[in-house]
Structure 1
């Protein structure tokens, strides 16, 4: 009887030892791969710095009242030709441009200043090659943005500026024959502002400062 019990106990211990010996010896096949380090970078929206540019020349251009026809036919003698200002999309994102012209007439006594006439000359190069010249506008009735001056033209400002695209713009001035003596020694000044916004839906131009 005692021998049988001992044999059963020995057999049970052998089973426990066998189970313990096998614990943790099984494993699954595995494999692992990892990409190299990478990043995504935000694009840049950037326009050429034009802070040193001037809309109108200040040297040697004196105006006298003339007819529109005379101003168009003899620009060197009777019309002040503005400076050519070139700005470029030098970022790496496409942008939607907006041109704002701020005009003031000075030194006019008792007149509204609209006998000063201004027109815009514009040339685009890059993804769109296009040039145009606007109609003459009354100086004190210019509405910004002046993109609208070429609203009817197919490729005026209807195409976004791609990276590397450039725009050259200038403004001509003449004094209408109806100006009269109130315009003697008067002047017209102009400041051009160029804004750009992203070409995505709901993007907005910079706020006025």
Structure 2
């Protein structure tokens, strides 16, 4: 009798354990949804420019050309450029207006060959040796699909600017600041060449004068409110 009771009780306990184990396998309905994102900032940089001039024994009536310099957008974002040409002399008793400055710049996606660049160098030579105009730069579509900008600063214009600024020995010329030509996409380049001519009217006071020039290019974002580094 006792043996039968023990067996019955044991069977009941086992059934309870099975039921309990079965209850634990049930769960509520659930669902899950996720969203993720990544932001990688663009890069913003310009390639290094090459030196402009390195020449001795310059004299009146002579014309000196720089090498072609390439402005490269080496970042991953479009840029707005400000290009300036600064020049000065180390003698306070003579006027920098005797140095006539001109330039030609080409904007392109595919680099022009050497013959094209040589042709534009001849055009700059003609500008500096012929009738000159104030540096009112202009850009136009070239038959070769290059955008071309050119400018020449005449003796009289320089003299007028010097009087206005009260400084005869130095000058900063702004070639472009955000105009269409001076907006550089990631797949575009600008090649630029400068020419400097010392006027035939420069006399003996210009002997031994040292002329220094600097071409500077600043870049900023194309977004509204963007500033150049020098403005921050």
TM-score, normalised via structure 1 length: 0.66
Task: Determine the C-alpha separation between the residues in 1 that align with 2:170 and 2:181.
Answer: 21
Q: Does 1:90 align with 2:89?
A: no
1:32 paired residue number:
32
**Aligned-pair distance for 1:197?**
0.3
Q: Does 1:156 align with 2:153?
A: no
Alignment of 1:5-20 (within 5 A): none
Task: Determine the C-alpha separation between the residues in 1 that align with 2:104 and 2:228.
Answer: 23
**Kept in 2: contact 1:85–1:170 (CA 8 A):** yes
**Kept in 1: contact 2:87–2:170 (CA 8 A):** no
1:112 paired residue number:
95
Q: Does 1:188 align with 2:211?
A: yes
Q: Does 1:131 align with 2:160?
A: no
CA RMSD of aligned residues (A): 3.2
Count, aligned residues? 165
**Aligned-pair distance for 1:188?**
1.3
1:46 paired residue number:
45
State the structure with bigger RCO (CA 8 A, min sep 6), 1 or 2: 2
Task: Determine the C-alpha separation between the residues in 2 that align with 1:31 and 1:156.
Answer: 56
Structure with the greater alpha carbon radius of gyration: 1
Task: Determine the C-alpha separation between the residues in 1 that align with 2:231 and 2:33.
Answer: 53
Task: Determine the C-alpha separation between the residues in 1 that align with 2:192 and 2:198.
Answer: 21
Q: Does 1:80 align with 2:44?
A: no
TM-score, normalised via structure 2 length: 0.60
**Aligned-pair distance for 1:33?**
4.1
Q: Which runs of 5+ in 1 are unaligned?
A: 1-20, 67-77
1:102 paired residue number:
86
